């Protein structure tokens, strides 16, 4: 395999990242959940107040061809302060098992270590990537601390606040 370069994502990478987001959603059996576009990624990630940042993995011979990405954003813990949330880590199937995912993960971990106190992320219970994260020393909070993750989607948010509108 070509050696891999990890670099910060750029606007012009967003169409390739969007395609991988759709592939990740298909893998997670949630393809119908993707509601954004390449344009949304560009405006949300590169506007005056970026909501996220990315690292991308490229063959050293072609730094414009993306074979994986990590999308993350700053968040805050009232217990430890600044944190980083890793939203997505995805590597094209033909580039898996070669260390690309680990390089992307470590890039975000290094940034989290240098800029904050913690890095959080979610993994589906059936995803074999759990073994990858466990091997890196990551703690499964569902098992260790009995945390549960909750969510309100847009239509649920509207229902919850209907009396306030």
Q: Which two tokens stand for residue 156?
A: 């649920």
d(CA 107, CA 61): 20
Dist. CA 43–CA 130, nearest whole Å: 32
Question: Are residues 116 and 74 in contact, defined by beta-carbon separation less than 8 angstroms?
Answer: yes
133 is catalytic: yes
Exactly one of 18, 69, 72, 133 is catalytic; which is it?
133
Q: Do 160 and 152 contact (CB within 8 A), yes or no?
A: yes
List beta partners, residue 58: 5
115 token code pair: 């800029």
Catalytic residue numbers read 133
């Amino acid at each position: 395999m070509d050696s891999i370069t990890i670099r910060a994502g750029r606007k012009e990478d967003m169409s390739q990242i969007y395609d991988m987001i759709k592939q990740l959603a298909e893998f997670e059996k949630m393809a119908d959940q993707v509601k954004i576009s390449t344009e949304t990624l560009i405006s949300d990630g590169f506007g005056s107040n970026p909501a996220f940042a990315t690292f991308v993995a490229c063959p050293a011979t072609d730094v414009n061809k993306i074979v994986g990405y990590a999308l993350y954003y700053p968040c805050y813990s009232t217990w430890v302060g600044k944190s980083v949330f890793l939203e997505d880590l995805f590597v094209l199937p033909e580039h898996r098992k070669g260390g690309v995912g680990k390089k992307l993960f470590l890039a975000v971990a290094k940034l989290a270590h240098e800029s904050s106190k913690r890095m959080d992320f979610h993994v589906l219970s059936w995803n074999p990537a759990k073994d990858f994260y466990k091997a890196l020393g990551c703690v499964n909070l569902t098992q260790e601390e009995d945390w549960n993750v909750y969510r309100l989607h847009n239509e649920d948010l509207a229902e919850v606040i209907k009396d306030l509108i």
